[in-house]
Amino acid sequence: MIASSPYARFQENLEVTLKRLKASKREQDVLREPQYNHKKEIEITRDDGSKLKLHAFRVQYNNARGPYKGGIRFHPEADENEVKALAALMAIKTAVVDIPFGGSKGGVQVNPKELSKREVEAVSRGYVKAFVDHLGPEIDVPAPDVNTNPDIMAWMRDEFEKITKTFAPAFITGKPLSYGGSEGRDTATARGAFFIIQEMVEREGLDSKELRVVIQGFGNAGSHMAELLHGAGFTIVAVSDSHGGIYVEGGLDPVRIDKYKKQTGSVTGEYCQGSVCDVEKMKLDNVRIVTNGELLELPCDILIPAALDNVITEKNAAKIQTKFIFELANGPTTPEADAILEKKGITVVPDVLLNAGGVTVSFFEWSQGRSGEQWTAEQVDSELRRTMLNAFTAVRREARREKLSYRMAAFSVGVKRILEAMRVRGWS
């Protein structure tokens, strides 16, 4: 049976893995549910003097391998089940890249786009006040996630230091560079994924110059990914954002797309203003405008979802024409789609491995915060490369040895490492 809620989906993969790894009854019980599920209400005063009450969550899934680690999202639809699943996946992710953290996640049910800057600051400080007893550099280390950013991390660090009367740069990661942040954090997710894609191409004996790439999403992760792959000789044939996509059979230049995106707000901005497009210019440049649905079904060698979750489903999986899917977004493929893709022989490199570059550089930031060192961009880059390639090698080896998909192999590597730590601690 295929589960529908995000946490039930996680549990399904977990159960299969625990059974295969012959985990004890007690180990299964520990991993079936998060260790802690904290819920609070945050109250802020709005600019007009009225009060606003918001539901807030901090789920701490497992800390056998080190302090809990996970971002905080501000989203009107952030809910407990989703935050639980994301916390659990963080624990798998930190274990797959073998950094000394557990997994957690936080959320506030709010639309920050409807709030003033002062109100967003009040929500951020309110979150730390609400959960301060459960957070700390050695307890649980937050980070940015959907709709949260370095400024918010700076307010949160400041609030934590005020309440605890400590100097705590390692309390939170994703901070501005001038306030305890790390070099390379903004490009870490794309760079980490890039190292793995390059390695896969090499090990499969392919030539990057002959590989055609489609990328959905042109935000932090997607735009950096496009530029890195283009720079390495891959042909980027299509990219998209929430307004739609652009397809150029002969290949497009992501730097140029980025320039127009910045000017017009859309990757199609050079050719279209809203729904009005310059058809002559499009013909001349061999450009086609595509919907996000069409984009996913374009013929290519590498498809990179880098926007939303649940975009590859049982409805479109059979129509996908690629050799590899590299999951830069979190949860872009449903379990139903996974089964169809596997039958079609499409290799899916999963989110818990591929997009772990962000949390890896968060670990470097935390280490720098604790030691007082400031690493150079070159140091960050070479440690990131080493960490991501070690993780890729471990997952690929597990996939081959146990005849598993990369997703199940990544679960296997991650869960094995969590179980090892639990055994040392006597939790088994």
Beta bridge partners of 241: 244
Provide, rounded to whole angstroms, the least separation between the CB of residue 363 and ligand NAD.
13
Provide, rounded to whole angstroms, the least separation between the CB of residue 354 and ligand NAD.
9
Provide, rounded to whole angstroms, the least separation between the CB of residue 333 and ligand NAD.
12
Q: Do residues 360 and 99 touch, judged by C-beta distance below 8 A?
A: yes
- 105 among known catalytic residues: yes
Which DSSP category does 72 fall into?
Answer: E
Chosen residue from 17, 35, 334, 355 binding ligand NAD by CB under 6 A: 355
Provide, rounded to whole angstroms, the least separation between the CB of residue 129 and ligand NAD.
26
Identify which range of 214-222, 252-260, 314-322, 399-407 contacts ligand NAD by CB under 6 A.
Answer: 214-222
**Closer to ligand NAD by Cβ: residue 159 or 241:** 241
- Phi–psi pair at 332, nearest 5 degrees: -75, -20
Residue in 338, 65, 328, 315 with CA at minimum distance from that of residue 216 = 328
The answer to whether residue 404 forms part of the interface with ligand NAD (CB under 6 A) is no
**Closer to ligand NAD by Cβ: residue 18 or 197:** 197
The answer to whether residue 371 forms part of the interface with ligand NAD (CB under 6 A) is no
The answer to whether residue 292 forms part of the interface with ligand NAD (CB under 6 A) is yes
The answer to whether residue 57 forms part of the interface with ligand NAD (CB under 6 A) is no
Q: Which residue has the tokens 């679960």?
A: 411
Give CA–CA dist 27/158, Å, rounded. 38
Chosen residue from 148, 182, 189, 333 binding ligand NAD by CB under 6 A: 189
Q: Do residues 357 and 334 touch, judged by C-beta distance below 8 A?
A: no
The answer to whether residue 94 forms part of the interface with ligand NAD (CB under 6 A) is no
Chosen residue from 140, 183, 241, 270 binding ligand NAD by CB under 6 A: 241
- Which residues, 6 or more positions from 409, have their beta carbon under 8 angstroms from its beta carbon? 395, 396, 398, 399, 402
From the list 84, 93, 105, 261, the catalytic residue is 105
Q: Do residues 338 and 407 touch, judged by C-beta distance below 8 A?
A: yes
CB-closest chain residue to ligand NAD: 219
Site for ligand NAD in 112-151 (CB under 6 A): none
Reading the block at residue 40, the tokens are 């609070």
Total length of the chain: 428
The answer to whether residue 233 forms part of the interface with ligand NAD (CB under 6 A) is no
**Closer to ligand NAD by Cβ: residue 45 or 242:** 242
Identify which range of 11-19, 43-51, 323-331, 375-383 contacts ligand NAD by CB under 6 A.
Answer: 323-331
Chosen residue from 103, 106, 126, 217 binding ligand NAD by CB under 6 A: 217
Q: Do residues 385 and 196 touch, judged by C-beta distance below 8 A?
A: no
The answer to whether residue 242 forms part of the interface with ligand NAD (CB under 6 A) is yes
The answer to whether residue 282 forms part of the interface with ligand NAD (CB under 6 A) is no
Residue in 292, 159, 152, 137 with CA at minimum distance from that of residue 222 = 292
Give CA–CA dist 75/83, Å, rounded. 11
Chosen residue from 37, 220, 313, 316 binding ligand NAD by CB under 6 A: 220
Rounded to the nearest 10°, the torsion over CA 32, 146, 390, 201 is 120
Site for ligand NAD in 326-345 (CB under 6 A): 328-330
Chosen residue from 66, 102, 103, 222 binding ligand NAD by CB under 6 A: 222
The answer to whether residue 76 forms part of the interface with ligand NAD (CB under 6 A) is no
Provide, rounded to whole angstroms, the least separation between the CB of residue 140 and ligand NAD.
18
Give CA–CA dist 382/394, Å, rounded. 18
The answer to whether residue 213 forms part of the interface with ligand NAD (CB under 6 A) is no
Report the b/e string of 13-50 with b at 16+ CB within 10 A. bbeebbeeeebeeebeebbeebbeebebebebeeeeee
- Which residues, 6 or more positions from 294, have their beta carbon under 8 angstroms from its beta carbon? 245
* Site size with ligand NAD, rule: CB under 6 A: 20
Q: Which residues are catalytic?
A: 105
Binding site for ligand NAD (CB under 6 A): 189, 216-222, 240-242, 292, 306-308, 328-330, 355, 358
